[in-house]
Amino acid sequence: MAGEAPEPNAQEKAGKAFPVSWDQFHRDCRALTWRLNEVGPFHAVIAITRGGLVPAAIVARALGVRVIDTVCIASYDHNKQGELQVLKGISEAAIKLGGGTGKGLLIVDDLVDTGKTGKLVREMLPDAHFATVYAKPMGRPLVDTFITEVSQDTWIFFPWDTALSYPPPLRDGAA
Ligand SMILES: O=P(O)(O)OC[C@H]1O[C@H](OP(=O)(O)OP(=O)(O)O)[C@H](O)[C@@H]1O
Ligand SMILES: O=c1[nH]c(=O)c2nc[nH]c2[nH]1
Ligand SMILES: [Mg+2]
């Protein structure tokens, strides 16, 4: 109807912002690798694209894993979650390395929010280890290893999704 306010998207609904710099993200990924080193070794890393690609590269490098595969899933269109679509599944070669169930494989994503994406990938590889850098409470039970938990009403801004911008002064007239 004309004049009606548009539905708030997931980012607007979240309310709180948690901006993450490249430095911070790298530090958090390195902390993740310390924990994962206690769990491995892993035969391969499976990155959930696109957000999982950056932590997967850092984690794979630190753990000395050279076989990296992707599972390509689209859900959030900008910041509104729709139906999950698997655009590319896990390769036969990676599935074979994990004995069909994912044993010895490491799934990596940047975060779990509602847990829908993580749940879908877990169903593909039930015995794999699932690691994310950040976790929100709804998705947290799905993750085996993560570094930082943020509240469900927080939106995480990743460095590859953001650019430097000018923040207006908090108080009128302040320089
Ligand atoms: O736990 P959920 O509620 O499913 O949300 C988490 C997923 O959402 C984001 O991906 P997105 O679908 O935005 O795609 P992208 O990684 O390509 O940015 C994020 O990278 C996770 O994969
Ligand atoms: O950049 C993002 N930040 C988030 O907090 C989030 N939750 C789901 N998908 C997300 N993407
Ligand atoms: Mg993603």
**CA dist., res. 20 & res. 3, Å (int):** 36
Q: Is residue 168 in a domain?
A: no
**CA dist., res. 103 & res. 169, Å (int):** 52
Number of domains observed in the structure of the chain: 1
Q: pLDDT tens digits, the chain, 175 residues: what are they? A: 556 777 777 777 778 899 999 999 999 999 999 999 999 899 999 999 999 999 999 999 999 999 999 999 988 776 667 789 999 999 999 999 999 999 999 999 999 999 999 999 999 999 999 999 999 999 999 999 999 999 999 999 999 999 988 888 888 665 5
Q: Is residue 166 in a domain?
A: no
Evaluate: CB of 130 within 6 angstroms of ligand 2.
no
Task: For residue 129, give every residue at least 6 positions away whose Cβ sits within 8 Å of its Cβ, in sequence order, or none.
Answer: 36, 39, 42, 105, 106, 107, 144, 145
155 is in an annotated binding site: yes
Question: Which residues, in sequence order, are bridge partners of residue 48?
Answer: 71
- Angle at which helix 53-63 crosses helix 22-39, to 10 degrees, equals 50
CATH number at residue 79: 3.40.50.2020
Q: Please state the ipTM of this predicted complex.
A: 0.98
Q: Is residue 164 in a domain?
A: no
Q: Is residue 42 in a domain?
A: yes
Which chain residues have CB less than 5 Å from ligand 3, an ion? 51
Q: What is the pLDDT of residue 112?
A: 98
Domain limits at 71? Answer: 12-158
Q: What is the pLDDT of residue 14?
A: 76
40 is in an annotated binding site: no
Percentages (nearest 5) of helix, strand, coil residues in the chain: 30, 30, 40
pTM for the whole structure: 0.92
